[in-house]
Amino acid sequence: MRGLVTELGRRLDAHQRSRIAELDLTPTQAKALEELGEPRTARELAGMLCCEPPNVTYVISKLEKQGMVERRPHPQDRRAKQLVLTEAGRELRLDLLRRMGTESPLDHLSHEERFALREGLLKALGRDGAA
């Protein structure tokens, strides 16, 4: 069983990496775009990406140079900046999410089979009925 879960994880990872590469993004840039569906501070984004704020600064600077992200004043904290997707960034994010959802290793499963797999994985992770 463990081997099957590992193999599925590898296939899903390979699928995700190929879709990210189609858009000439790094995996970290792609994850940042995914998480910026709503404005966040660099500190918040660093927590979501499980990395240090200076690493996020580097990633965001590259996305900013490409016109995908803007830094704006935080509405409640004058010391902080919010990271906000531009129109081009929102379009790229949607394209990324669309691509990641096509030709997935899970595509051949029916809706019911996907639901059952999800429920089984949540149970195995001790997260019954979560998310």
Confirm whether 6 is domain-assigned. yes
Q: Which of 31, 18, 3 is nearest to 105 (CA)?
A: 18
Confirm whether 129 is domain-assigned. no
Confirm whether 39 is domain-assigned. yes
pLDDT digits (tens), the chain, 131 positions: 889 889 999 999 999 999 999 999 999 999 999 999 999 999 999 999 998 888 898 999 999 999 999 999 888 888 888 999 999 999 999 999 999 888 888 888 999 999 999 999 899 888 875 55
Q: What is the CATH number of the domain that holds 104?
A: 1.10.10.10
Domains in the chain: how many in total? 1
Confirm whether 131 is domain-assigned. no
pTM of the model: 0.79
Confirm whether 130 is domain-assigned. no
- Provide the 8-state DSSP code for 41: -
Q: 3-state DSSP call for residue 5?
A: helix
Domain range holding 39?
1-124
